[in-house]
Chains A and B, each alone.
Chain A
Amino acid sequence: MSLNSFWFTLIVVLWVGYFILEGFDFGVGILLKVVAKNQAERRAVLTTLGPVWDGNEVWLLVAGGATFAAFPEWYATLFSGFYLPLFLILVSLIVRGVSFEYRSKYGKAQWRNRWDNAIVISSFLPALLWGVAFANIIEGVPLKKTPAGIIEYAGGFFNLLNPYALLGGATTLLLFISHGAFFLALKTEGEIRNRANSIGQKAGLATAVAALAFFGWTAASVNHRGWVLLGAAVAVVFWLAALGANFKGREGYAFLFSALTTGFTVITLFATLYPNVMPSSLLSDASLNIFNASSTHYTLKVMTYVAVVLTPIVLIYQGWTYWVFRKRVNPNQIASADSGILDTVQ
């Protein structure tokens, strides 16, 4: 395997990690007001994310950094091209992170309600927009070669909101909602657990419909049709397993299989691209691929050493965090849930 292919694979791994991990974060955020009816429940729901959400989000930062280091042309074209969707994602991530940290500082209903709304919206938008962005990459966007030989995005914001991309967005949105519901059912006790289980079932079925439509459309329009069908078949089997496990109340398996589904979907979609990283919908010689977008062999080599040494260590200690916080959170464990630590009277 060439270093270029290795780095393509590694970036796929980073996105797989990101979508599995922050995918359920988004789902939990979207469901916050639906699964949790009182302050103790809301705080229990947020506490399931508390120790892990920031580490989950780092997968995005590393995917971005790795793309910058290994495929600078991809990084430059993608982020300057998908300017407004990425901007909306960034604003959402800013608001979301701050909301988690600040919402329970005070007990006032208005204060908490505003942050809760912020959490719902700022989880909803990226869950939708990542699907839109990736569907566009898969489908190909208008890329042109400038006289200087640089490949630039030649479309606008509304090119990105085409029906296929919106279907992609709906698919990731529903997938993350289900994934988040499975996570909550696994991590909580009492009413929240029951509600999450039942939402997971309904959202899971809706996800299946959206995903089949999306895979069907993808298979009809892109290269590597065999890959798409094979990957889709595996994803569907995993998804059925997730739904079955959820139905039987086997929450650990439901979450595991929804994580596998998420991972396989990402892998399948990237596999349809290879060796391109951003195909052009205009001219084939204006596509970015793992060679014309890449850094030098030396840089790839340096980064390979770094990644090979550090990634396993990161996986170990991040995995260990999940082990430390493996216990379910019960709303009864939240002391004086209605007041915040900054309320004068506690």
Chain B
Amino acid sequence: MNALSLARWQFAITTVYHFIFVPITIGSGFLVAGFQTAWYRTNKDKYLRATKFFGKLFLINFAIGVVTGIVQEFQFGMNWSAYSRFVGDIFGAPLAMEGLLAFFLESTFLGLWIFGWDRLPKKLHLASIWLAATGTLLSAYFILAANSFMQHPTGYILNATRGRAELTNIVTVLTQKTALSAFFHVIPSAFLASGALFAGVGAWLMLKEKDVEVARPAMKMGAITIIISFLLVVVSGDFSARVMTQQQPMKMAAAEGLYDSKASAPFSLLTIGSLDGSHAVFQIGIPSLLSVMSTGKTDGVVEGVNDLEKQYDKQYGNDSYTPVIWLAYWSFRLMIGFGGLALLLAGYMLWRMRKGGLPKSKWFNRAAITMPFLPLIGISFGWIFTESARQPWIVFGLFKTKDAVSPTVGAGSVAFTMIVFTLLYGVLAVIEFGLMAKTIKMGPQPAVEGSDANDGKQLTMAY
């Protein structure tokens, strides 16, 4: 493999790995804050136990999200220096804003929350977790705005002399509909994943009869979060699909395995392409659904891969503008499928919990343990889809991935760093998973409420 393919693999590995932890961080921060608010308002011990228990899970997860985020920030300069030069004038701004506005907020107030149980007044301590959670939300917003420039560049001009894109309107970059639709798609999906974690863990506690007082609100909060989030994910997903069809028709065509332009295009349930990827051999679909998704009309015309390829050859010069179709096609479906599975489980759970009931079936409670993984898998496929189906572009229509890699970094260096990072990520994942599992197995612990309990002689929280 050459430096380019290695750098692409490294980016994919780091980013997908990082984003396993991110959704749980974003959603769980708010859900833990919810439990703590319930405790603050009602003073019921079960909510304090829930806050501490889910707080522990949140922090074990957060640690890896933070440290892999550092690599995210620097890998553009390390492996993608040509890209950094080309877009730095635009792309760097949201990254710097993310640092100043989001990272400081998140890290400082999380530190205050973790260690502040006996140092801060209750209200201020509660405010800390809300501020830390808000930090994660802001962080997501800025990085999605930066990513959206890669999907749909806007608010810039090309400077031919310096060979780069230059910012002309920061407001456009931060508020274009690509960024907003991505934000309203990614954030609910993060809540979906966190809701699934809470519901799944709650179900497990129920199965083991660990702390039913905590298990019940956890399941309920989790299941409700999943259902609301899923609705928002569907609405914003639908909007995103339309934005994507306008801005990156090739991506939509690839997602659907639609080789030739069609009016009243069906939504494919199964398409098998020919070996060279130029046409469909076999297809089952729902009539006209794709046209509705992409254009809002049942008889709307959706452009196909082959027609777009011809059009791009003329527009941008002869090259291949077709992404890997099977990857786009399947990752798009797996994204939707895994999210949907989590919804089904949540729906059933909530149905059985109505009127004070409980989902008693052991079979269901076992299945529910898989819940936390389902949305995370779905989200990973979502990113694999949206990034891979933009190829060959790194910035759509402006800059190709093959031109973006660092010219001075050899394949050996990229291979070496990729192997070390991957091994390190693997080891950390095993440790992280072990700690999460152990924490869940121990279940919520009797709560010690800070200084009242020991006259301030002992620290409630120490490393």
Can you identify 24 A-B contacts, CB atoms within 8 angstroms?
A: A51-B115, A52-B111, A54-B66, A55-B107, A58-B104, A61-B103, A72-B84, A77-B81, A78-B77, A80-B406, A83-B78, A83-B413, A90-B74, A93-B70, A98-B64, A102-B431, A150-B163, A295-B88, A299-B92, A306-B96, A306-B100, A321-B108, A334-B462, A335-B454
Known contacts A94-B71, A104-B463, A152-B408; is-contact A324 B119 (Cβ 8 Å): yes
Residue-wise interface mask of B (41-68) relative to A, using a CB-CB cutoff of 8 A (1 in contact, 0 not): 0000000000000001001100110111
Beyond A51-B115, A94-B70, is A69–B95 a contact (Cβ under 8 Å)? yes
Within the complex, the shortest CB–CB distance from A338 to chain B, in Å, comes to 12
Question: How far is B63's CA from A93's CA once the two chains are assembled, in angstroms?
Answer: 11
Q: Chain A 277-303 against B: per-residue CB contact (8 Å), 1 yes, 0 no?
A: 000000000000000000110110011
Which of chain B's residues 428-463 have a Cβ closer than 8 Å to chain A?
A: 428, 431, 435, 438-439, 442, 445, 454, 457-459, 461-463
B115 touches A73 (CB 8 A): no
Q: Looking at the assembled complex, report how far the CB atom of B431 sits from the nearest CB atom of chain A, in whole angstroms.
A: 7
Q: In the complex, which residue of chain B has the Cβ closest to the Cβ of A306?
A: B97
Q: Is the CB of B63 within 8 A of A333?
A: no
A65 CB within 8 Å of chain B? yes
Q: In whole angstroms, how far apart are the Cα atoms of A285 and B67 in the complex?
A: 38
- Taking a contact as CB atoms under 8 Å apart, the answer to whether B424 and A79 are in contact is no
Contacts of A295 in B (CB 8 A): 88-89, 92, 166-167
Cα separation A59 to B76 with both chains bound (whole Å): 18
- Assess whether A333 is in contact with B458, with CB atoms less than 8 Å apart: yes
Residues in B neighbouring A51, C-beta threshold 8 A: 111-112, 114-116
A325 near B115 (CB under 8 angstroms)?
Answer: yes
Stretch in contact with the other chain, from A41-49, A175-183, A217-225: A41-49
How many chain B residues have a CB neighbour from A under 8 Å?
77
User: Per-residue 0/1 for A51-76: is the Cβ within 8 Å of any B Cβ (1 yes, 0 no)?
Assistant: 11111011011101111111011011
Determine whether the beta carbon of B119 is less than 8 Å from that of A325. yes
Of B60, B78, B163, the residue contacting A87 (CB under 8 A) is B78
Pick the contact of B462: A50, A97, A148 (CB < 8 A).
A50
Evaluate contact between A62 and B112: CB separation under 8 angstroms: no
Check A310 for interface membership: any CB of B closer than 8 A.
yes
Establish whether residues B100 and A76, one from each chain, have CB atoms under 8 Å apart when the complex forms: no
Contact flag A91-B428 (CB < 8 Å), given A55-B107, A102-B63: no
Give chain B interface residues in 112-149, CB to chain A under 8 Å: 112, 114-116, 119-120
Interface size, A (range): 35 or more
Report whether B100 and A307 are in contact in the complex, using a CB–CB cutoff of 8 Å.
Answer: yes
Least CB distance, B440 to chain A, in whole angstroms = 11
* A64 CB, nearest partner CB in chain B, Å: 5
Q: Does A193 contact B (CB under 8 A)?
A: no
Q: Are the C-beta atoms of A75 and B77 separated by less than 8 Å?
A: yes
Given A66-B96, A342-B438, A342-B439; A91-B108 close (CB under 8 Å) = no
Q: How far is the CA of A50 from the CA of B417 in the complex (A)?
A: 29
Residues from chain B with Cβ under 8 Å of A344 in the complex: 442
Taking a contact as CB atoms under 8 Å apart, the answer to whether B76 and A68 are in contact is yes
